[in-house]
Amino acid sequence: MTDETDRDAVKELYKIASDIYDQIDSGKIPKMVLPLRTKSNIRFDPKHGVWKYGKATGARTAKKTNGALMLLRTMYTLELIEDMIKQKKSSTLREMYYISEGWDKAKFNSQDESNLLSEDLEIVTGCMREDFKLRPEENGASIIGNLTIEEFDRKGRTKRINCLDDVGDSGYGIPYNVEKDKVKIVESDADFIIAIETGGMFDRLVENGFAEDFNSVLVHLKGQPARSTRRFIKRLNEEMKLPVVVFTDGDPWSFRIFASVAYGAIKTAHISEYLATPTAEFIGITASDITNYELPTDKLTDMDVRALKAELNDPRFNDAFWRGEIETMLHLNKKAEQQALAKYGLDFVTDKYLPEKLGELGMLKK
């Protein structure tokens, strides 16, 4: 990171503190105004084709205990970030949470709380959390496929890696920073990217040689994908012009995984244009797959049903396809895992299911 971005970050953070200071100094109740980070406040941004925060705002005010404490935490966090920038250090989000142990009353109650605050700061300053010297824990999402990249490694060397030939069966581990100064995408002759929710299915496709046979790049999402995973998919999509398909379990939570890859997550809607790949396609498991392929299923739990109903009010799912999917799943009252395809044998997914589904999407080059 350059000194210039550091200076920008410090300037933006100073503005927050200065704003709070001035409000108190003029006898007002200090507050910070932020866009509401709720599903009712996300709007489609036609320019980028992704979902971003709308105009509705909320105030974090010292009038209430929670608000006052968050403002105090903000002050402590600003101080911490300034110190890290000065000392050229960085910390993980988890470390930041533990650092707050020494903040007495301002200590975070959970890591969710500290994560949310770091995102709030991104929103207010327009900086990225990396600019604040905050980074996520390594999440180990990985890639296998005919793709060549150059990584600027920890020893300052540039390493050229082919993600098919130079890696083991667990693939190339996506680092938390996938910006150009860290990872350069050199070349790829793959036809498409397939992003997979579960490790079990990723390994199945690896073992079955799906990357080679179908000339594809396999990306393991590892559940709800980390920012770097989404960012890397986006870069591959834009820079290598690779179409993206998303292959998940068939349950309400997997729908949300797809939404965060393709439309932008609510939590990070302030940087959706940077993380989301609007052209990504959902391949399955769809609700209709459950019937069409007669898959083994589980009954929907109460939580599943609540999640599906919430999705009916989620503007990102407000189209014919998703309404149909959600309503069908509610009607069936069933969900299925990716691995349920193993009912028909270990090769079924690569021999039959995926070719059929990819064919429907017109993605198979004969």
Size of the site for other proteins (CB under 8 A): 56
Tell me whether the omega of the peptide bond preceding residue 24 falls within 30 degrees of 0, making it cis: no
Residue 59 near residue 31 (C-beta atoms within 8 A): yes
Catalytic residue among 98, 176, 293, 353: 98
Cβ closest to other proteins, residue 57 vs residue 279: 57
215 is a site residue for other proteins (CB under 8 A): no
Q: Is 98 a catalytic residue?
A: yes
Q: Which of 7, 11, 43, 79 binds other proteins (CB under 8 A)?
A: 79
Interface residues for other proteins in 2-41 (CB under 8 A)? Answer: 13-14, 17-18, 20-21, 23-30, 32-34, 36-39
What spatial distance separates the first Cα and last Cα of the chain, rounded to whole Å?
45
71 is a site residue for other proteins (CB under 8 A): yes
Residue 259 near residue 321 (C-beta atoms within 8 A): no
Report which of 75, 74, 33 is spatially closest to residue 55, judged by C-alpha positions.
33
Place of tokens 């971003």: 52
Q: Provide the β-strand partners of residue 158.
A: 152
Q: Which of 9, 45, 52, 68 binds other proteins (CB under 8 A)?
A: 68
Residues in the chain: 366
Phi, psi of 156, deg, nearest 5: 85, 10
**By CB under 8 A, which span of 56-64, 145-153, 292-300, 319-327 interacts with other proteins?**
56-64
Q: Which of 60, 133, 204, 235 binds other proteins (CB under 8 A)?
A: 60
Q: How far is the CB of 112 from other proteins (least distance, A)?
A: 7
226 is a site residue for other proteins (CB under 8 A): no
Interface residues for other proteins in 281-310 (CB under 8 A)? Answer: 307, 310
Q: How far is the CB of 20 from other proteins (least distance, A)?
A: 5
Q: How far is the CB of 21 from other proteins (least distance, A)?
A: 4
Q: Which of 224, 297, 328, 339 binds other proteins (CB under 8 A)?
A: 224
Cβ closest to other proteins, residue 266 vs residue 363: 266
Show which residues are catalytic: 98
Residues of this chain that bind other proteins (CB under 8 A)? 13-14, 17-18, 20-21, 23-30, 32-34, 36-39, 56-72, 75-76, 78-79, 82, 105-106, 112, 116, 224, 256, 259-260, 265-267, 307, 310
